[in-house]
Amino acid sequence: MYDPHIRINKWNVWYGSDHALVNITADIPAKGITTIIGPSGCGKTTLLKSMNRLLDEMAGTRVKGQVWLDGINIYDPGVDVTEVRTRVGFLAPKPFPLPMSIYDNVAYGPRIHRHTLNSRGGNDHDLDGIVENNLRAAGLWEEVKDRLRTSATRLSTGQQQRLCLARALAVEPDVLLCDEPTSALDPIAAQKIEAQLQALKKERTIVVVTHMLRQARRMADYVILLWMGELVETGPAMQVFVNPRDERTRAYLDGDIG
Strands 222-227 and 32-37: parallel
In the complex, minimum distance from the CB of residue 153 to other proteins, in angstroms, rounded to a whole number: 6
Helices (H), the chain: 44-50, 81-87, 102-112, 114-119, 127-137, 141-144, 157-169, 187-200, 213-219, 237-242, 247-253
In the complex, minimum distance from the CB of residue 82 to other proteins, in angstroms, rounded to a whole number: 5
List, in order, residues 6 or more apart from 241 with CB less than 8 Å away: 217, 220, 223, 253
Stretch that binds other proteins, among 8-16, 130-138, 145-153, 185-193 (CB under 8 A): 145-153
| Position 99 contacts other proteins (CB under 8 A) | yes
Stretch that binds other proteins, among 10-18, 131-139, 165-173, 250-258 (CB under 8 A): 165-173
Of 16, 76, 96, 145, the one binding other proteins by CB under 8 A: 96
Q: What is the DSSP letter of 185?
A: S
Question: How far apart, in Å, do the first and last CA atoms of the chain sit?
Answer: 30
Query: With contacts defined by CB under 8 A, how many residues of the chain interact with other proteins?
Result: 30
Whole-angstrom distance, CA of residue 223 vs CA of residue 219: 10
Q: Taking CB under 8 A as the rule, which mask of x and - marks residues 45-84 in contact with other proteins?
A: -------x-x--x-x----------------------xxx
Which amino acid belongs to residue 51? M
140: alpha, beta or left, given left = phi > 0 and alpha = psi -120 to 50? alpha
In the complex, minimum distance from the CB of residue 246 to other proteins, in angstroms, rounded to a whole number: 32
| Position 242 contacts other proteins (CB under 8 A) | no
Whole-angstrom distance, CA of residue 205 vs CA of residue 174: 6
In the complex, minimum distance from the CB of residue 105 to other proteins, in angstroms, rounded to a whole number: 9
| Position 90 contacts other proteins (CB under 8 A) | yes
In the complex, minimum distance from the CB of residue 135 to other proteins, in angstroms, rounded to a whole number: 16
Contact criterion met (CB below 8 Å) for 67 and 51: yes
Closer by beta carbon to other proteins, 178 or else 223: 178
Judged by the rule CB under 8 A, the positions of this chain that interact with other proteins are 52, 54, 57, 59, 82-86, 89-90, 92, 94, 96-101, 108-109, 112-113, 151-153, 164, 167-168, 171
